Chains A and B, each alone.
Chain A
Amino acid sequence: MEPLLTQDVRKPNGYTLDFYVEHDGYAGLRRALGMAPDQIIEMVKASGLRGRGGAGFPTGTKWQFVDKKSPNPRYIACNADESEPGTFKDHVLMERNPHLLIEGCAIACYAIGAKVAYIYIRGEFLHVQQVLEAQIAEAYKAGYLGKNILGSGFDCDVWIHRGAGAYEAGEETALLESLEGKRAQPRNKPPFPAVVGLYNCPTAVNNVETLCNVPLIVKNGAEWFAALGPEKNGGPKLYCISGQVKRPGVYEASMHVTLRELIEGERYAGGAREGRTLKAIIPGGSSVPVLLPEQLDVPASFDAVQKAGSLLGSAGIIVCDDTTCMVWLAENLLHFYRHESCGKCTPCREGTDWLHKILHRIERGEGQMRDLDLLASISAQIGGKTLCAFGDAAITPVQTTLKHFRHEYEAHIREGRCTLVADWRARQPIGAH
């Protein structure tokens, strides 16, 4: 499949309005404005577009849930928080193909009957925000945003809100809280944002990549989009491949592509570095279970990866070769999760810190065998008991490494050191701050 979302990202002026319009940009919006909003929702449903933010929820269905009877205004909240470790696709789209997102926002607003879309952008993405803001201004000038868009009578505004740098702000209800100017802490669900969202109004929260797919669907049709990938996994997909591979980066492919092709294929990441072998792959951002090298011959689709025992999540594929110590990996990730826990609910606030302390102790060679049961038990005490999905995300690195690499933990405890690398004492967690 030829790239559809990223084909022009390397062109120097690929991000400009002129370039975009020259290449059939905003044709989707034009077409959408000639359709009934419900038709667009049906079209998106038929396309099989699933949310690219992590959960893979069907986008058309989400839009359909948006409460049409409410007397309140409705909103689109675009999730541009992109904080999942190993994920860096949305930022490419926003920086190098901003008008695709702007067009997607406008069509989404039209479809659900909203007049305003907020792009909640990750605090660290200052440079991306500057590009996006400039291009939004261009779109206003050209009449693709603002009042009476393209003479249709439809009004739409797009605003950018920059976060303060918190992973949890990417959780949809925490994002809404943060948009409202409060702490980025999640709300109880139900009610879901589609009914009670931003300022208690019906709101659809959609990932950047999700919205970027919408113009393609409207322009080329639902069948075309669905046929690009396996059943229920339609459309193009961006994969972020990072870690110990020859060519890490963002790759666009259909979801027919297998994980092995993505990681080892010459068109993609090119496999492990010289003289190294693959050890473990985390296919969907740090919050999903690891897959072993022999499990990679499955399509990199939502359904197939789930069947293989993990999740496609945000498609942040983290590759570890044989030099990676799995205890250190778990400690490093828990350092991240304990730091990013919003602290609202008890199991996550207290449990992630405790897990990290125990992992740190084991990694330093001061652990005891009973710590392994303790890790498993604390993880189980967190899992399924937290307010938002963060808790389940945070225990995954512990549970999955314990499951597949228990021998590495035992070796640490027995030898009193990391047996894998010589410089283990000097290593520090490399969490995002």
Chain B
Amino acid sequence: MIEVVDTVTLTLDGRQITVEKGKTVLQAALEHGVSLPYYCYHPGIGIDGSCRVCIVKIEKMPKLQTSCSTVCTDGMVVDTQSPDVHAARAGVFEFLLINHPLDCPVCDKGGECPLQDFSYTFGPDNSRMEFPRRVFDGEGVKADVDFGPTLMLNRNRCIMCTRCVRFMGLVDGDAQIGVINRGNGSEIGTFNDEGVHSLMSGNLVDVCPVGAITTRDYRFKSRPWDNPSVTDTICTQCSKGCNTTAWLKAKPEWAKGSSLIRFTPRFNADVNQYWMCDIGRFNYRWVEGDDRLRAPLVRDAQGTQQRASWADLMPKLRDRLAQAGQSSPDGVKFLVSAHASNEELFLFRRLTEELLGPSGPSTITVSWRVTPKQQPPRTTFKVPAVDAPNVNGARAFGLVTGAVGDPQGPSNVGALQAAVAAGSVTALFVFDPGPDGTLGDSQWLLDARAAGQLPLLIVQGVLMTSLAKAADFVLPGASFVEKDASYTNDQGWLQATSRALATPGDAREDWQILVDLASGLGVQLGYTSAATVRGDIAARMGGAVGLVGIEGLAFASTMSARTWLQASNPSERWKWDFMYQDLPPVKGAVEPSSLPPPPGLIPLKEVK
């Protein structure tokens, strides 16, 4: 069926353009590559008409009009470049800066700041302000005050666009931020100065067009030109699967510290709009943290875990597993976290089928943690309770009951628990590639192990969890930012994470570990890459709901931030064309020309 879209045709800077009915002049201009500044407007939180920088000339209207609040009509003639528009716009920019501290060198937003960018492009080249600037909480960085557990606020930098206020009211659903006082003394604040307490707080930093709101996490940690590499990926910390971008700091070989320095949300109309929650945004340090598994471990005769090479570990593991299998053919069980990707779930299925026949997959139990999130009832962004990305994938593979897209409740590990308690489990293979605890309750396993009910415990995962500490074999795998893998979110969308980092130390990608393990057990699965695994999924069950199109999934490669911004946000494109040209090269930065053109990974939507 062809969808008939009502359109209107107007003239924009002398060009005839046709846009969907209902679009504003600002939207039309941005879609057609005309740069217009805007602050109070944000596609996710609507029109305010207060900042006044988006003014344009519209024929037959007596005054200049704000393009953000003017809907396109047929035959409208819009001019964004006339001398009076230039002058008026520059006037508003002069006003925006007369009280702005201009402390860009110490401001986190510096380098990616719409106030800087638009002022350079549209503002006057000097200011006529001769009076002391407005100061709220102190001069310089002393003006930074607490703004809740995740944020800092610098009121001097604020331009009163009220995006933060409207975000809290419209998206978060709890209008914690308000404007205090009036006129020139207006300031952003929270009741009793309590700050923002919200699962969505990090988005305030994205919506704030200046450095007034900053995250404690990213504060003073890097500068935009020091983190020139980005990878488009998705978040796997819950069943929603927000589309995100992983930002990497470029650093010389010898430098310590992590290279993953922040996550930002990426627009996806169907999944997360413009937002992501604080769990996904801030909980990433474990990826490069001290608890990360970097080498295989084997428990020796004295009972201590010793580092081993994969070549040492595999035969020992094979022998112990074979032994356990022989003593009790269905005594070998698998406990797989719903953090397992579709590829990994499929491999577990294949492995058990090959070893035990068609009933093999019944030895697999999929487990996940459920944490109800405290959110305002009116929120438009619900963070699901399931702390794992792929319950629906497990359903698609028949490992969890229910259909893809059904509501998701707690996992059911009762049968496995009973078998362990009955002492009938001779070996348990745990796969736990998510952050600590997301496998769900594991205390019962530790207790069983201590009670001698679990003779053999194997853990494949990413962190030195208490379960890994108790294991006989520890197999270091890859976290979600270290592999190209696919997941089926709670709505049934098939989405992909992309490799932004290499696996640390001797850790390997999990498909590789499982294929090697199978081979050790005498099963030749024949896969040579994760892509061949996906090809086989498509061949065997390509039509399954939640897995359609898996063979054709494209993955993002790490690319320069410049390329990323060009691909993802056309309205920012000019920034990279006109600015940053004269910045000194950063050591370790990815040279844009060395990169392939941006892949069309998860299709990027037009700027709204």
A contact residues vs B (CB 8 Å cutoff): 166, 183, 188, 338-347, 349-354, 357, 374, 377, 380-381, 384-387
Contact yes or no, B47 A346, CB < 8 A = no
Determine which of B52, B128, B182, B184 lies in contact with A345 in the assembled complex, contact meaning CB atoms within 8 Å.
Answer: B52
A250 to chain B, nearest CB (A): 29
CB neighbours of B48 from chain A (8 A): 188
Residues B49-73 near A (CB distance < 8 A):
49-53, 55, 63-64, 66, 69
Q: 1/0 contact trace for B80-118 toward A, CB 8 Å?
A: 000000001001101110110000000000000000000
Contact yes or no, B95 A346, CB < 8 A = yes
CA distance A345 to B95 in the complex (A): 10
CB neighbours of A357 from chain B (8 A): 131
Contact yes or no, A341 B91, CB < 8 A = no
- A350-B99 contact, Cβ under 8 Å, with A357-B131, A374-B128, A381-B88: yes
Contact yes or no, B64 A352, CB < 8 A = no
Contact yes or no, A188 B49, CB < 8 A = yes
Contact yes or no, A343 B96, CB < 8 A = no
CA distance A353 to B179 in the complex (A): 18
Contact yes or no, A385 B185, CB < 8 A = no
- A385-B182 contact, Cβ under 8 Å, with A346-B95, A354-B129: no
B contact residues vs A (CB 8 Å cutoff): 47-53, 55, 63-64, 66, 69, 88, 91-92, 94-96, 98-99, 128-129, 131, 159-160, 162, 179, 181-186
Determine which of A350, A374, A386 lies in contact with B184 in the assembled complex, contact meaning CB atoms within 8 Å.
Answer: A350
Contact yes or no, B88 A385, CB < 8 A = yes
CA distance A351 to B64 in the complex (A): 18
CB neighbours of B99 from chain A (8 A): 350
- A350-B95 contact, Cβ under 8 Å, with A341-B183, A387-B52: yes
Contact yes or no, A343 B49, CB < 8 A = no
Chain A minimum-CB-distance residue to B131: A357
CB neighbours of A387 from chain B (8 A): 49-50, 52
Determine which of A345, A350, A377, A381 lies in contact with B50 in the assembled complex, contact meaning CB atoms within 8 Å.
Answer: A345
A8 to chain B, nearest CB (A): 39
Contact yes or no, A346 B129, CB < 8 A = no
Chain A minimum-CB-distance residue to B179: A183
CA distance A340 to B182 in the complex (A): 7
Contact yes or no, A385 B98, CB < 8 A = no
CB neighbours of A347 from chain B (8 A): 52, 91-92, 95
Chain A minimum-CB-distance residue to B162: A344
Chain B minimum-CB-distance residue to A360: B131
CB neighbours of A353 from chain B (8 A): 183-184
Determine which of B47, B98, B181, B185 lies in contact with A188 in the assembled complex, contact meaning CB atoms within 8 Å.
Answer: B47
CA distance A11 to B185 in the complex (A): 46
Contact yes or no, A385 B50, CB < 8 A = no
Contact yes or no, A166 B182, CB < 8 A = yes
Q: 4 smallest A-B Cβ distances: which pairs?
A: A381-B91, A341-B183, A343-B186, A353-B184
CA distance A374 to B130 in the complex (A): 11
CB neighbours of B69 from chain A (8 A): 188
Contact yes or no, A385 B64, CB < 8 A = yes
CB neighbours of A377 from chain B (8 A): 128
CA distance A384 to B63 in the complex (A): 6
Question: Which one of A340, A344, A351 has the greatest number of beta carbons of chain B within 10 Å?
Answer: A344
CB neighbours of B92 from chain A (8 A): 346-347, 381, 385
Contact yes or no, B95 A381, CB < 8 A = yes
Determine which of A340, A342, A346, A352 lies in contact with B96 in the assembled complex, contact meaning CB atoms within 8 Å.
Answer: A346
A174 to chain B, nearest CB (A): 11
Chain B minimum-CB-distance residue to A384: B63
CB neighbours of A374 from chain B (8 A): 128
CA distance A344 to B94 in the complex (A): 17
B342 to chain A, nearest CB (A): 46
Contact yes or no, B51 A345, CB < 8 A = yes
- A354-B98 contact, Cβ under 8 Å, with A345-B50, A346-B52, A349-B183: yes
CA distance A345 to B131 in the complex (A): 21
Determine which of A344, A349, A354 lies in contact with B131 in the assembled complex, contact meaning CB atoms within 8 Å.
Answer: A354
B596 to chain A, nearest CB (A): 43
**Known pairs A188-B49, A346-B50, A385-B63 / 13 extra A-B pairs, C-beta < 8 Å:** A188-B66, A338-B183, A341-B184, A346-B53, A346-B92, A346-B96, A346-B160, A349-B160, A349-B184, A350-B95, A354-B95, A381-B95, A385-B91
CA distance A344 to B91 in the complex (A): 17
Determine which of B66, B94, B129, B182 lies in contact with A343 in the assembled complex, contact meaning CB atoms within 8 Å.
Answer: B182
Contact yes or no, A381 B94, CB < 8 A = yes
CA distance A340 to B99 in the complex (A): 19
Contact yes or no, B95 A343, CB < 8 A = no
Contact yes or no, A343 B160, CB < 8 A = yes
Contact yes or no, A343 B185, CB < 8 A = yes
Chain B minimum-CB-distance residue to A392: B63
B329 to chain A, nearest CB (A): 69
Chain A minimum-CB-distance residue to B159: A346
**30 A–B contact pairs at CB < 8 A?**
A166-B182, A183-B179, A188-B49, A188-B66, A188-B69, A343-B160, A343-B181, A343-B182, A343-B183, A343-B184, A344-B160, A344-B162, A345-B50, A346-B92, A349-B95, A349-B160, A349-B184, A350-B98, A350-B184, A354-B131, A357-B131, A381-B88, A381-B91, A384-B64, A385-B55, A385-B63, A386-B52, A387-B49, A387-B50, A387-B52
CA distance A226 to B92 in the complex (A): 45
B422 to chain A, nearest CB (A): 63
CA distance A187 to B547 in the complex (A): 48
CB neighbours of A386 from chain B (8 A): 52
Question: Which one of A188, A340, A377, A386 has the greatest number of beta carbons of chain B within 10 Å?
Answer: A188
CB neighbours of A183 from chain B (8 A): 179
- A342-B52 contact, Cβ under 8 Å, with A347-B91, A354-B98, A381-B91: no
Question: Which one of B64, B94, B179 has the greatest number of beta carbons of chain A within 10 Å?
Answer: B94
Determine which of A341, A354, A385 lies in contact with B52 in the assembled complex, contact meaning CB atoms within 8 Å.
Answer: A385
Question: Which one of A339, A377, A385 has the greatest number of beta carbons of chain B within 10 Å?
Answer: A385
Question: Which one of B66, B99, B162, B186 has the greatest number of beta carbons of chain A within 10 Å?
Answer: B186
CA distance A351 to B129 in the complex (A): 11
CA distance A428 to B182 in the complex (A): 22
CA distance A339 to B184 in the complex (A): 8
CA distance A349 to B129 in the complex (A): 15
B507 to chain A, nearest CB (A): 52
